[in-house]
Amino acid sequence: MRFFEDLSVGDIYEYGDYTVTEDEILEFAEQYDPQWFHTDPERAEAESMYGSVIASGWHTTAMTMRLNVDGFLGDSVALGAKGVDELRWWKPVYPGDTLSIENEIVDTTVETEDRGLAKIKTTTYAERTSGEVEKVCSFVGLVMVARRPEE
């Protein structure tokens, strides 16, 4: 397991290989962000500037979180987060895109005897069906991480 002391500014961790489906885009959007360019594939293709239905930015962030839990956080003694700074949705996510993430440790601060705070910049990339890779999302997470117990 990765403890706070194992994190160094500048460290980079890469994870993911998650392919987004149209069905999940529609399901998430119907429940949480029912704007027509997320919920109506025909209208989105005909009328939107995207040319297709796209994932909600909130859905992109949720998929990013899943990749984070399955990768980085799952291998760490993470205790939750205090928030997220600088959330940006750079490009839309389309059905068929395959997502991956990169985490960069940008700062670490000891908070208590038991934990530290790691500022982690997460960047989400989408590999398009064309093979092109684009940055689609980024944010800085304020993650509490347990300190290694003294032996």
CATH of residue 139? 3.10.129.10
All residue ranges of the chain with pLDDT < 50 are: none
Residue 14 CB: number of other CB atoms within 10 A?
Answer: 13
Residue at 98 is within a domain: yes
Q: How confident is the model at residue 147, as a pLDDT?
A: 97
Residue at 110 is within a domain: yes
Separation between Cα atoms, residue 31 and residue 26, nearest integer Å: 9
pTM comes to 0.94
Q: How confident is the model at residue 59, as a pLDDT?
A: 98
Per the DSSP assignment, residues forming a β-bridge with 88 are 138
Residue at 46 is within a domain: yes
Residue at 151 is within a domain: no
How many domains are there within the chain? 1
**Closest C-alpha to 59, from 85, 94, 84, 104:** 94
Q: How confident is the model at residue 150, as a pLDDT?
A: 83
Q: How confident is the model at residue 30, as a pLDDT?
A: 98
Residue at 58 is within a domain: yes
| Residue span of the structural domain in which 11 resides | 4-146
Q: 54-89: per-residue pLDDT in tens?
A: 999 999 999 999 999 999 998 999 999 999 999 999
Separation between Cα atoms, residue 90 and residue 60, nearest integer Å: 11
Residue 126 CB: number of other CB atoms within 10 A?
Answer: 25
Q: How confident is the model at residue 70, as a pLDDT?
A: 94
Question: What are the start-end ranges of the E strands in the chain?
Answer: 12-19, 78-89, 98-110, 115-127, 133-146
Residue at 128 is within a domain: yes
